[in-house]
Homo-oligomer: A and B are copies of this chain.
Amino acid sequence: MEVLYGLHPVEEAVRSGARRLDCVLLARERGDARLERLAGLCRDADVRVTLESRDQLTRLAHTDAHQGAVALVRERAFLTIEDLLAPQPIPNKIERNSEETQSQHRFFLALDGIEDPHNLGALLRSADGAGVDGVILPERRTAPVSATVAKTSAGASEHVRIARVTNLVRALEQMKQANVWVLGLDERGAPDYMDFDFRTDCVLVLGREGAGLHDLVKKTCDHLLRIPMAGRVSSLNVSVAGAVVMYEALRQRTHPAPAVPKPAAPPKPRKGLGS
């Protein structure tokens, strides 16, 4: 049994239905419109609601940052690489906010040793925002998808499709065999991510803060991309770096350069533009 807390994460868990919710516990006070809306949402979704004192919620959540909402959920079932690669990722794509942000190319995110739950949460939130088709997390040396992660991700951890793998290198090899390009992010990489053509199926691999990608993972990458650093600091925070590249991929896929005459043939995959 796992505990989720915070208005957003609990609301998202109720909405998504992807998890077996055992029950939702709400603070007993009246007059909080957001808690009342959440109670209504639970009724509509047939989720059992119990009213508790704030102290009791704090004991369950092990923090007082629960905003009056706690959910008890069964262990999350993770996907496999095969699930991620399956042709129709129905649950996540159908109800997206905007038709415009759809793309015929898939974009995955793989995390190589992200142990800080705040970074993991922020990355899942950005992955949801950028319409990423799935996230690959290794079982070891990775923050668990905990209540803190759910909170930091503003609930995105409940929606984003996540595959958990025992061996990241093997998972990336599987991706390659499915014609997905493996792109590592590296301070000493080339080309700049801005020069890369993301209009192809690809997986972006992010490494540890400071130490970067593990050697074997780096060797598995088809390309190592770099984020240009204009000032004195040598790298961005990993969750920031990931979002910058995810959004550039989204931009290229949804906002082709205006005024460029469309080529007769489809764009070549795996082409670094090399300015």
**A residues whose Cβ falls under 8 Å from a Cβ of B:** 12, 15-16, 92, 95-98, 100-101, 118, 122, 125-131, 152-156, 159-160, 192, 194-195, 227-237, 239-240, 243-244, 247-248, 250-251, 254-255, 257-261, 273, 275
Contacts and interface: CB of A to CB of B under 8 A. Distances in A.
Given A255-B194, A257-B260, A125 B239 contact: no
Contact of A228 (B100, B228, B248): B100
Given A129-B236, A229-B129, A240-B126, A248 B250 contact: no
Interface centre among A125, A156, A228, A233 (most CB of B within 10 A): A233
Nearest to A228: B101
Given A122-B240, A244-B243, A260-B260, A129 B255 contact: no
Nearest to A209: B154
B194 A233 contact: no
Nearest to A234: B154
Contact of A236 (B12, B229, B243, B254): B243
A3 to B, nearest CB: 21
12 contacts: A12-B232, A12-B233, A101-B230, A128-B230, A129-B231, A154-B234, A159-B233, A227-B247, A230-B250, A244-B247, A248-B248, A259-B261
Contacts of A95: 232
B231 A128 contact: yes
Contact of A243 (B131, B194, B233, B240): B240
B159 A236 contact: no
A230 B131 contact: yes
A179 to B, nearest CB: 23
Interface centre among A95, A125, A128, A237 (most CB of B within 10 A): A237
A95 B240 CA distance: 24
